[in-house]
Amino acid sequence: MAEKKKARLRSTPAIRKKADLDAFAAGAGRAAKKDALLPWEEPHVREDVKKSIPLRLPETLYLKLKYIADHTPYSMNSFILERLEQVIEEEISRMT
């Protein structure tokens, strides 16, 4: 039975072409392309599906939020959601 020939180890990694590295670096920090779909625009995303995230609040902020919910028509969740949606839309507009 013939022995397997082992690949030679290199002392240094293969050098990539400078153009490849320059192209990679040039794309860093760029916003998404206008013709590319953004994650919330994908066809499988549904408006009726609700996702939850854990949210840790300092006790003082929690108590302020509870006070608002107790003294307005808002629930704690609806108050956060309405305000958060406004801020997210503003930030997305700024980014795109």
Q: Tell me which residue of 56, 50, 59, 58 sits closest to 78, measured CA to CA.
A: 50
Distance CA 33, CA 54 (A): 31
Percentage helix, strand, coil, to 5, in the chain?
Answer: 45, 0, 55
Residue 25: the pLDDT is 74
Distance CA 94, CA 88 (A): 10
Residue 96: the pLDDT is 85
pTM above 0.85, yes or no: no
Distance CA 75, CA 57 (A): 16
**Average pLDDT per run of 10 along the chain, which is 96 residues long?**
66 65 71 75 92 94 97 96 96 92
Q: Which residues contact 31 (CB under 8 A, 6 or more apart)?
A: 95, 96
